[in-house]
Amino acid sequence: MSNRTPLNVADYRELARRRLPKMVFDYLDGGAEDEKGLAHNRSVFDSLRFKPKRLIDVSQRELATPLFGKPQAMPLLIGPTGLNGALWPEGDLALARAAARAGIPFVLSTASNLSIEDVARRCEGELWFQLYVVHRSLAGQMVDRALAAGYRTLVLTTDVGVNGYRERDLRNAFKMPMSFTPNVLLDGFLHPRWSLDLVRHGMPQLANFVSSQATSIEVQAALMSRQMDASFDWQALRWLRDKWPHRLLVKGVLDEDDAARCIAEGVDGVILSNHGGRQLDGAISPIEVLAQTAASIDAPVLVDSGFRRGADVVKALCLGADAVLLGRATLYGLAARGEAGVDEVLRLLKDDIDRTLAHIGCPSVQQLSPAYLDLQMPSAPDRSAVASLPPRELARR
């Protein structure tokens, strides 16, 4: 790319690849097993085609949309991602501040490198907290901490009963804290900008786990092995619903019946996700069950996994999504240029959404519907499910 201005997320990915050591870039970029899930997430978007409307006044276009009754600047969030401090110093804070400037929420991961309290104290935007249940008692402590720190939306991730088999990470022996083998030291020497940042700011740590409360032998053993609580079930979800007094979302859903049961258990919305292809390599894309899910529940449906362009976002909104969570897209910007890079990626996506609305003849994201997609294609979603989608302006926003 030399000195050319990045024009899309792929350009930021290339800048990130150049700046990061291979093992860190592979952690950011990689998926589970053969990484077919990564490719499938993208191919699903490629299989959807727009059916534009003409002679529509699109001289003014509106990206603002309500989510859970609150206005936000565009139908995006920065989703929860872990170990962001390995990509850029205080990466979690950079993402949170960029989201605040863009007028969208930021979801802090349990596996963040800045603590729940630190991010809340240093960023004034809308903050959500994502919960991994490593150990039930520790999860309860984190929920209490998030509540005390002022978070009002809790996101329970349910698709990590065990860690995905990420072969890139295994081959690189990637872990935190890093082991400084000769290969790692050589890679760091070849990426001096990243290495200097590491020297200046120190090795990132899992800040939410550096707590005097995580003292039991059982909890410490779970932390050391990165074990998740694979026993977390519907009864445990009821425990969490009773414990958390504010908005609760369940992330990792890929089945409309599971989504319906979540709502029946008192959950406020679901996030369709296959963890960006990082868990089960053979999982379906959330886009493939989006229309069915949106039609089957009377609650907001959010979605992530594989979004790289604003046109991808528009396609998801046409199929019933209320908003889209970004993962790797904004992380590429972070890894390439820090906080400014996140700003730039969000601006690119916003402009892309706006341009796509103009091209398809839709003046507002709130007017998007399946009518803007060609559902005659063999790979298109189930037409019966799409037909039962409620009008966007009458839906549960």
Rounded Cα–Cα distance for residues 47 and 378 (Å): 9
Asked if 67 contacts 314 with a C-beta cutoff of 8 angstroms, the reply is: no
- Nearest alpha carbon to residue 298 among 201, 362, 388, 222: 388
- Name residues whose C-beta falls within 8 Å of residue 181's C-beta, 6 or more positions apart in sequence: 173
Rounded Cα–Cα distance for residues 148 and 384 (Å): 45
275 is catalytic: yes
As a residue count, the chain comes to 397
Asked if 173 contacts 179 with a C-beta cutoff of 8 angstroms, the reply is: yes
Instruction: Transcribe 195-264 into DSSP letters.
Output: HHHHHHH-----GGG--TT--SHHHHHHHHHT---TT--HHHHHHHHHH--SEEEEEEE--HHHHHHHHH
Asked if 201 contacts 89 with a C-beta cutoff of 8 angstroms, the reply is: yes
Which amino acid is present at 259? A
Rounded Cα–Cα distance for residues 361 and 53 (Å): 5
- Nearest alpha carbon to residue 107 among 118, 89, 124, 92: 92
Cα 300 to chain centroid, rounded: 16
Catalytic residue among 40, 135, 191, 275: 275
- Nearest alpha carbon to residue 23 among 241, 235, 169, 190: 169
The position carrying tokens 């889209």 is: 324
Instruction: Transcribe 49-95 into DSSP letters.
Output: -B----S---SS-B--EEETTEEESSSEEE---S-GGGTSTTHHHHH
The catalytic residue positions are 275
